[in-house]
């Protein structure tokens, strides 16, 4: 039996990382942190267009490595996927490299969860831009998911409400 991978997608400042960590704790399993955050911290800059494929490749490799280490019946909560990198490429450069398009088309997760931009927007150094950009990214993400016919659950409200919404979709921890 393979690990059920759960994709957590959303624009900046929507609580994805906090939710992924809380889900991993609740379900007693692992989560894949967002590599982009590390990239920005290590390089002290936001990514350029030519960084996008490398960021997606690293994110995917880390997901694969953790999936091999998760227990057989566990979920693996994935804090963003290469699909999200493709969305940002559309927003910032108006195009998506072929490798990212291939990953976007191959988006295959047991469940895709989208964090709504309904939490207060909080600036976070270089990685977060503005409420306006957050709304634009969210709209682009939903459009890509709809266009690709990828079913998703929109998570709203505070962390406890989102945890309940996820449990309704994937089952309660320990069930």
Cα 120 to Cα 52: distance, rounded to the nearest angstrom:
27
- CATH of residue 124's domain is 3.40.50.300
Q: What integer best gives the mean pLDDT of the chain?
A: 91
Q: Is residue 91 part of a domain?
A: yes
Decide if 36 is inside a domain. Answer: yes
Q: Is residue 138, in this structure, part of any structural domain at all?
A: yes
Kindly state the average pLDDT of the residues 61-70: 86
Reported as half-sphere exposure (CB side, CA atoms, 13 A), residue 59 has a value of 27
Which pLDDT band holds residue 72 (cuts at 50, 70, 90)?
very low
In a domain, 175, yes or no: no
Q: Indicate the pLDDT class of residue 20, thresholds 50, 70 and 90.
A: very high
Q: Which residues of 140-149 are buried (b: 16+ CB within 10 A; e: fewer)?
A: bbbebbeeee
Q: In the chain, how many domains are there?
A: 1
Q: Residue 73 pLDDT more than 80?
A: no
Q: Decide if 125 contacts 133 (C-beta within 8 A).
A: no
CA distance 144 to 87: 8
Helices of type H across 16-154? 16-27, 35-43, 52-69, 82-93, 98-105, 131-147
Helix (H, G, I), strand (E, B) or coil at 70: coil
Q: Residue 1 has what pLDDT?
A: 52
Q: Are 33 and 27 in contact (CB under 8 A)?
A: no
Residue 162 is assigned to a structural domain of this protein: yes
- Domain, as residue range, for 30: 4-169
Judge whether 174 lies within some domain.
no
Helix (H) or strand (E) holding 169: helix 159-170
Separation between Cα atoms, residue 78 and residue 8, nearest integer Å: 6
**Which band of pLDDT confidence, cut at 50, 70 and 90, is reported for residue 175?**
low
């Amino acid at each position: 039996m393979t690990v059920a991978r759960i994709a957590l997608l959303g624009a900046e400042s929507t609580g994805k990382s906090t939710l992924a960590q809380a889900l991993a704790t609740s379900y007693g399993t692992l989560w894949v942190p967002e590599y982009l955050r590390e990239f920005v911290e290590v390089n002290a800059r936001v990514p350029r267009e030519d960084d996008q494929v490398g960021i997606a490749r690293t994110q995917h490799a880390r997901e694969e490595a953790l999936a091999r280490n998760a227990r057989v019946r566990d979920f693996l909560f994935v804090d963003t996927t290469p699909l999200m990198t493709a969305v940002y490429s559309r927003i910032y450069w108006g195009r998506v490299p072929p490798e990212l398009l291939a990953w976007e088309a191959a988006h295959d997760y047991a469940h895709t969860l989208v964090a709504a931009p309904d939490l207060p927007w909080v600036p976070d150094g270089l990685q977060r831009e503005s409420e306006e950009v957050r709304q634009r990214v969210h709209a682009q993400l939903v459009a890509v998911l709809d266009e690709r016919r990828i079913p998703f659950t929109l998570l709203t409200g505070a962390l406890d409400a989102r945890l309940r919404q996820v449990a309704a979709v994937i089952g309660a921890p320990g069930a």
